Structure 1
Amino acid sequence: MKFYNRVNELDELKTLSNAAEKKAVMCVITGVRRVGKTELIKEFFKEEDGLYFYVDSSKTSTQLLSEFSGELKERLGLSERLTVSSWDDLFHDIFEYSKKKKVILAFDEFQRFTWIDKTLPFVLQKFFDLNKNDSKIFIIISGSSFGLLKGMFIEQDAPLFQRPANILHIRQFDFGTVCCILDDLGIKGFKDKVELYALFGGIPKYYDLIEDYGVKSADLAMKKLLYGELAPLRDEVKNIMAEEFGKETATYYGVLAASALGKARANEIADYSGVKGTSLGPYLYDLTELLGALKKELPITEDIKSKRARYYLNNQFFKLWFRFVFRKQSEFELGRFDELFAHFQEEKNSFVGRAFEEICRQYLLKTMKFEKIGRWWGKGKNEPVEIDLLALDEKASLAIFAECKWQDKPVAVSDMVAFKEKAAFVDWKYGSRSEKFVFFSKSGFDKKALDFGAENGWLLVDLDGLERAFNEPVHSSP
């Protein structure tokens, strides 16, 4: 698969590399697993000559030292007689060489040194601090959000605290980029693109698998990539959790499982996961701020200090796995894949609907101006009320209400009237605000709904309208 986007990230790496002509510079590349951190380094190395060291968790510290020192001698032309018997020796040689000639060095999966050799980050700290002003070296450190950031860079007593010039958080691809990828893979149907995005979000690695396995639809993706004895993604979540959290996997697993089962409030998550409410905070922080597996949301009209927060899974494949594997774990282990696939088809529309909301959010960001956007929930007349998307512009006193319907029947006037009635429960600047209404629909709108929308100035968007908005080329390279 080609390399897509990441133009800003590449530019930042080039800027820092130029800065390393005068002094030692360190940069961290971090993000959720499979998001493309290694591919970014490889793309950067197409234009910059650098040393790439992969930290293999199956090897000992001694084995890695031997491998890295051999690569170092070969690439930098150092004498074979040079003795490298410790990490001190390795970094001493690198920094001494960099005083004469610039060196670019990348460590991939650096967080694994946490259990391979805890001393190495401190050794790097020592040589970086001692040689910062008289070495020409650019050190790139890449790894997962949780393991890398918390233990090595964020906490004040972390060995590399405040050493990086920048920490690049690599985000998932947006839906527009995913559309371009799928176009290049021969998947042209917009509905298929939406459904595949619902399964895999913006994680590039999963689209590599789509290409490798000749997948052309969400149904085929489930059969080839998840529901099978040899399916490449059958143990994906288990492996990620074990790598990220080690001995504490069970606790984090419980928190994510609670969220997947609809437990959105902190007290609900604590009750389900068995974590004391007073102890839940650090787990939620790790999963939201560091790993990015959870997303904390407030009603969009609420202040950041509000106690009405909800927590939702923030990774489409995690959502998929917890809903269609975790809940049916026994059947999955017994290999009853036909039954599991039938269950997926029954619930597919419901599952895709949540991802469709995210696509609609991105559409509004592309086509309208406002200050912030999110969900809203609150009290109705007799029952709770939820608004799929609410965009606010404080200066213009404008509220944009959006409803997203992923269903197999056209939207009717009754749907639109019911939606407008819900909007009346949002008290933000009620009585003085301007209002716009947007309705997104997988299956379009019936004749009366189209007439109602035209008469009342509503924006009605079907799949064709969405496709036009996302039909833009993005940067790519072979």
Structure 2
Amino acid sequence: MAAVQKPAQVFGRAAEWDGLVSFATRPTPQAMLGVVSGRRRMGKTYLLRALTEQVNGLYFGATAATAAESLRQFGAALAAHSGSPSPFSFANWDDAIAYLFSLGTADRAAGPLLVVIDEFPYLSKTTPEIPSLIQREIDRYQVEHNSMRLMLCGSAMSVMGGLLTSTAPLRGRAQLELVVRPFGYREAAEFWGVAKDPALAARLHAVLGGTPAYRRQFLADDTPAGLEDFDPWLTRTVLSPLSPLFREARYLLAEETDIRDTAMYHSVLAAVAEGNATRGGIANYIGRKSVDISHPLTVLEDSHLLERGEDLFRSGRARYRISEPLINFYEAVMRPAWALLESGQATQVWSQSADRFASQVAGPHFEGLCREYMLTSGQFLIGRPIGQVGRGVVTDPAARRQIEIDVAVTESRSPGAKAGLALLGEAKWGTVMDLHHLNRLSHARELLIGRGAATPATLLACFSAKGFAAELQAEAARSDVVLVSLADLYR
């Protein structure tokens, strides 16, 4: 089969496209299963529709319907693909799945047959036996010739994540497991057309992240004309009750099937947005015991709305962060002033939210961008293979204080060896960094050297979106000090 080119209208997603094409066109004579997941608005459907068109496959998008209606819709889609003038009628899903796989037994000169079933959780909810029926056919056609390439796709992350786990019927049957994630911050800047304005790009990403649908489907390409237009743009879009984005953060929670008591989940997210990043801190904020929030934390993690990161300096100490920027913005800025926003007072609310936006949204988000930078293009600063990138707290017993490290990078290590520290960094969104910040990092390094976790060669890095004082710039001539500006992150 000739190479399958990515259509020009599909922005980015080169790695995802290559993986999907490799799965869809692999010439192996056995039936194959792929699972594609990702939160809504990531462009999964757009990507899979483009692929099925390129390889002449079958795309079926399930809907929220009864089992009988879904079965009729599936039969109609199969008939349309086969060129039948009338829809196929199946007595049950057992017959439908068996017939589907039988299509892969035909001698297909065009290559394997790709079938995409989108929004699969709708089907598995009304017909829980469907995964088992697919498992039966996959197992059968591991020994008999079959060119079927079945791809199951869905947005309910907890459901899709459970398809291949533990004792699930499809465990061990998939040859592809792809999670379609938001664009990275630099790719998002290109997508929004603001890559040449890092200050605007960082603010825009702190509010909307890298979700593709927000620009085109939600805002009809209404983008900020420049940094000076950011405030007016925000009040006419995200903060306006007339905009589809206004209630989007609430909908993101409501769409997850495992979330019942949304008030509890909003409280957990609000706690994290307020800076309560530990399990104990979250529990205290919402007035519950730590054990009571175990399930909400797990569900939010499985839904890719919350991320858990281990403290790199203290084992067993985890910190949480909201992984969806729009939800963090909603909890920090919108939810506390919801009544005012609903009454159309977006300009007033936003004018009073500068400090809250800087401390609870832009600041923590900038720290995350700095860690992402070190995972990607920033590795050149280290000059050798890296291990983990994270954050942590260094305790200073003598002074009875703690030093927070926003960006910590460990060296790559061989199995069984202890990983050394390659870099310690501090990130500031709205502060011109000076020698005070560098001295604090230097003191943290000395403490870690005393514990055998760092060396004098461990780099000290200052990340600032606002700039660096002259005396700090002079210190950057030292081989162990690096300064990283906002422009450097986007360069």
Aligned with residue 395 of structure 2, among 376, 379, 403 = 379
User: Post-superposition shift, 1:82?
Assistant: 4.7
User: Post-superposition shift, 1:250?
Assistant: 4.1
User: Post-superposition shift, 1:4?
Assistant: 3.0
Q: State the alpha-carbon separation in 2 of the partners of residues 170 and 324 from structure 1.
A: 28
Q: Give secondary structure in 1 for the equivalent of 2:164.
A: helix
State the match for 1:400 in structure 2.
Answer: 423
State the match for 1:300 in structure 2.
Answer: 312
Asked if 1 retains the 8 angstrom alpha-carbon contact of 2:41 and 2:213, the reply is: yes
Aligned with residue 65 of structure 1, among 71, 81, 88 = 71
Q: Do residues 265 (structure 1) and 271 (structure 2) align? A: no
- TM-score where L is the length of structure 1: 0.86
Cα 1:423–1:334 shift into 2, 3 Å: farther
State the match for 2:5 in structure 1.
Answer: none
User: Post-superposition shift, 1:20?
Assistant: 6.1
Asked if 1 retains the 8 angstrom alpha-carbon contact of 2:333 and 2:356, the reply is: no
Q: State the alpha-carbon separation in 2 of the partners of residues 32 and 248 from structure 1.
A: 20
User: Post-superposition shift, 1:196?
Assistant: 0.8
Q: Do residues 444 (structure 1) and 467 (structure 2) align? A: yes
State the match for 2:55 in structure 1.
Answer: 48
State the match for 1:146 in structure 2.
Answer: 157
Asked if 2 retains the 8 angstrom alpha-carbon contact of 1:26 and 1:138, the reply is: yes
State the match for 1:201 in structure 2.
Answer: 209
User: Post-superposition shift, 1:389?
Assistant: 0.8
Q: Give secondary structure in 1 for the equivalent of 2:467.
A: coil
Question: Which segments of structure 1 move beyond 4 Å, counting only runs of 4 or more?
Answer: 271-276, 394-398, 430-433
Aligned with residue 354 of structure 1, among 345, 356, 364 = 364
Q: Do residues 34 (structure 1) and 54 (structure 2) align? A: no
Q: State the alpha-carbon separation in 2 of the partners of residues 457 and 277 from structure 1.
A: 41
Alignment coverage as a number of residue pairs: 459
User: Post-superposition shift, 1:275?
Assistant: 5.7
Q: State the alpha-carbon separation in 1 of the partners of residues 131 and 409 from structure 2.
A: 44
State the match for 2:446 in structure 1.
Answer: 424
Q: Give secondary structure in 2 for the equivalent of 1:296.
A: strand
User: Post-superposition shift, 1:27?
Assistant: 0.3
Q: Do residues 454 (structure 1) and 471 (structure 2) align? A: no
State the match for 1:472 in structure 2.
Answer: none
Asked if 2 retains the 8 angstrom alpha-carbon contact of 1:399 and 1:433, the reply is: no
Aligned with residue 232 of structure 1, among 241, 244, 247 = 244
Asked if 2 retains the 8 angstrom alpha-carbon contact of 1:441 and 1:462, the reply is: yes
User: Post-superposition shift, 1:394?
Assistant: 6.1
Cα 1:412–1:254 shift into 2, 3 Å: closer
Asked if 2 retains the 8 angstrom alpha-carbon contact of 1:387 and 1:423, the reply is: no
Larger RCO, structure (CA 8 Å, separation 6 or more) = 1
Q: Give secondary structure in 2 for the equivalent of 1:241.
A: helix
Q: Greater CA deviation, 98-107 or 329-338?
A: 329-338
Q: Give secondary structure in 1 for the equivalent of 2:171.
A: coil
Cα 1:138–1:456 shift into 2, 3 Å: closer
Q: State the alpha-carbon separation in 2 of the partners of residues 176 and 274 from structure 1.
A: 39
Q: State the alpha-carbon separation in 2 of the partners of residues 262 and 437 from structure 1.
A: 25
Q: Do residues 256 (structure 1) and 261 (structure 2) align? A: no
Q: State the alpha-carbon separation in 2 of the partners of residues 465 and 151 from structure 1.
A: 40
Asked if 2 retains the 8 angstrom alpha-carbon contact of 1:251 and 1:275, the reply is: no
Aligned with residue 411 of structure 1, among 412, 433, 436 = 433
Q: Which runs of 5+ in 2 are unaligned?
A: 1-7, 414-418
The letter of the residue matching 2:173 is: R
Q: Which runs of 5+ in 1 are unaligned?
A: 469-478
User: Post-superposition shift, 1:292?
Assistant: 1.6
Asked if 2 retains the 8 angstrom alpha-carbon contact of 1:373 and 1:391, the reply is: yes
- TM-score where L is the length of structure 2: 0.84
Asked if 2 retains the 8 angstrom alpha-carbon contact of 1:361 and 1:389, the reply is: yes
The letter of the residue matching 2:458 is: E
User: Post-superposition shift, 1:21?
Assistant: 5.0
Asked if 2 retains the 8 angstrom alpha-carbon contact of 1:296 and 1:309, the reply is: yes
Asked if 2 retains the 8 angstrom alpha-carbon contact of 1:105 and 1:137, the reply is: yes
Q: Give secondary structure in 2 for the equivalent of 1:247.
A: coil
Asked if 2 retains the 8 angstrom alpha-carbon contact of 1:21 and 1:137, the reply is: no
User: Post-superposition shift, 1:375?
Assistant: 0.8
Cα 1:377–1:211 shift into 2, 3 Å: farther
Q: Give secondary structure in 1 for the equivalent of 2:196.
A: coil
The letter of the residue matching 2:207 is: L
User: Post-superposition shift, 1:153?
Assistant: 2.9
Cα 1:39–1:264 shift into 2, 3 Å: same
Cα 1:74–1:8 shift into 2, 3 Å: same
Q: Give secondary structure in 2 for the equivalent of 1:45.
A: helix
Aligned with residue 281 of structure 1, among 284, 287, 294 = 294
- Calculate the aligned-residue CA RMSD, in Å: 2.8
The letter of the residue matching 1:87 is: W
- Percent identity, aligned pairs only? 24
Cα 1:69–1:220 shift into 2, 3 Å: farther
User: Post-superposition shift, 1:349?
Assistant: 2.9
Q: Over residues 394-421 of structure 1, what are the superposed CA-to-partner deviations in whole Å (9 max), with x where a residue is unaligned? A: 66955312222222x5333333334433
Cα 1:317–1:423 shift into 2, 3 Å: farther
Aligned with residue 434 of structure 1, among 444, 457, 472 = 457
User: Post-superposition shift, 1:13?
Assistant: 2.0
Asked if 2 retains the 8 angstrom alpha-carbon contact of 1:352 and 1:406, the reply is: yes
User: Post-superposition shift, 1:323?
Assistant: 0.8
